[in-house]
Amino acid sequence: MKLTTFEQRVGFKFALTFENGDLATVDLEPLVGNHLSVDELGSAEIDPDWGCLQFQGGSVDIEPTTLYRYAMHSPAGSTVRAPTAAQPAHPPDGLPAGPR
């Protein structure tokens, strides 16, 4: 699931939007804290080919599937899943559709 937009909040907290519309605000320190300082987080960008969040021109990155799974299951973050498309109502077998 590719990342489409992001916004750095405070410290390692990032608001993320994925290509399916899911939104998450998560603390990325467990993923990149050993590789980046808070001051280096400003180099964040989305790799246009892979859809991953990368830092320092790609020397540190988070693979999109890893980032999505982390964001959707992070206990310290908040997530909002995109609404699914409405499914048409189907009448029970043998009954005509329409008002009852």
Summarize the confidence of residues 36-60 as an average pLDDT.
96
Residues 4, 78: Cα–Cα separation, whole Å:
18
User: What is the per-residue pLDDT for 78?
Assistant: 66
Residue 70: is its pLDDT beyond 90? Answer: yes
- What's the pTM? 0.76
pLDDT of residue 74: 78
92: in domain: no
pLDDT: which is higher, 53 or 91: 53
Q: Which domain holds residue 44?
A: 3-80
Q: Identify whether 23 is part of a domain.
A: yes
Element (H, E) at 31: helix 29-32
**What domain count does the chain have?**
1
To 5 degrees, how large is the angle CA 87–CA 80–CA 34? 140
Average pLDDT over residues 47-69: 96
The CATH code of the domain that includes 63 is: 3.30.2020
**Mean pLDDT for the chain overall:** 86
